[in-house]
Amino acid sequence: MAQKRTGLGKGLSALIQDKESVEDLINDLGRNDTKVLELDIDKIRPKEDQPRKSFDKESLESLAKSIQENGVLQPLLVTKKNEYYEIVAGERRYRASKIANLKKIPCIVKEIDEITASKIALIENIQREDLNPIEEAYGYKKIIDEYNLTQEELAKAIGKSRSYVANILRLLNLDDRVVEFIKNGDLSTGHGKVLLGIKDKESQYKKALKIIKTNSSVRDAEELLDKKKKKNPRNKVKDIYIRDVEEKLITNLGTKVTINKTKEKGTIEIEFYNEDDLDRLVDLLTR
């Protein structure tokens, strides 16, 4: 079994907690020699592996109108890549500038290594409030994989609870079609958590379609799922104490927990979704 991963977590945490904004980090890259250049917009490209994939159309158009009237007030941060410049921070401004039909755009050009570029992209993305939960989940996964972090280390670094990070990452274990529904806004994060209770991926997908078709709330979806469980005679009504303990374990472990109790004994079932998730749970339970 894999050992607990450590190393860059402390550095990443310090970077995020010490910097109030992306601009602070950009300034630290060269306070004395930073120059703003007007670059041809056709020579600029977005960073291919950045987690943010979708941008609100109305928001971009609003920004484009502002740019037409006032120009781009904050330069993009870019790095030279062969014959073009890759965006490290500022893709939203870049997209809005294209809508505004700008030919040139102000940029700060820096030689930035991939690790630093990823850090800046991470900060910029987690500071945005309009990332959809799937973009957020992919962003967290990328940082965990690249920086060899545990979920708890990442949670501390970005000022979130460990259970919040765990629950967002769990959405990636849904059927790919359901993931797309959440990404496109057809389903909410709450719907996704409910659907995680269905192990069969095809059943997940069919239930998701029904939720969308009937415009069911998260509570409605939960009730539909509970009704199915009640039809199974093997399911018994749990007392309030057991349900409360289950909820506490779910919150603390960030995964589904089921307590099955008889008169004399019982079992606790803790779900995990991949090897990394199992390592995370073992780490939490063996401290």
Q: What is the mean pLDDT of the chain?
A: 77
Q: Is 153 a catalytic residue?
A: no
Query: How would CATH label the architecture of 22-126?
Result: Alpha-Beta Complex (3.90)
86-101 mean pLDDT = 89
Are the C-beta atoms of residues 215 and 243 closer than 8 Å to each other? Answer: no
**Is the pLDDT score of 7 beyond 60?**
no
Per DSSP bridges, beta strands 36-40 and 266-270 are unpaired
The model's pTM? 0.53
Residue intervals of the chain classified under CATH 3.90.1530.30 are 22-126
- Reference 78, options 52, 107, 53, 102; nearest CA is 107
Distances (CA, A) of 236 to 31, 240, 247: 66, 13, 17
Active-site hit among 86, 91, 152, 153: 91
Are the C-beta atoms of residues 30 and 112 closer than 8 Å to each other? Answer: no
Distances (CA, A) of 53 to 9, 69, 130, 156, 277: 26, 27, 12, 25, 25
Q: How confident is the model at residue 125 (pLDDT cuts 50, 70, 90)?
A: low
Q: What is the pLDDT of residues 22-45, one digit of tens each?
A: 445 545 554 445 678 899 999 998
228-250 mean pLDDT = 66
* pLDDT-wise least confident of 140-144, 157-161, 190-194, 199-203: 157-161
Look at 266 and 178; give whichever has higher pLDDT: 178
Tokens of residue 25, six digits: 């980090």
Which residues are CB-contacts of 39 (< 8 A; sequence separation ≥ 6)?
78, 85, 104, 105, 106, 107, 109
Looking up tokens 């993009």, which residue turns up? 76
Q: Phi/psi of residue 84, each to 5°?
A: -140, 175
The beta strands (E) that lie in 98-186 are given as 104-109
Distances (CA, A) of 203 to 74, 102, 175, 184, 222: 48, 48, 9, 20, 15
Tokens of residue 269, six digits: 């079932």
DSSP H or E run through 86: strand 84-89
Q: How confident is the model at residue 179 (pLDDT cuts 50, 70, 90)?
A: very high
Neighbours of 1 (CB within 10 A): 6
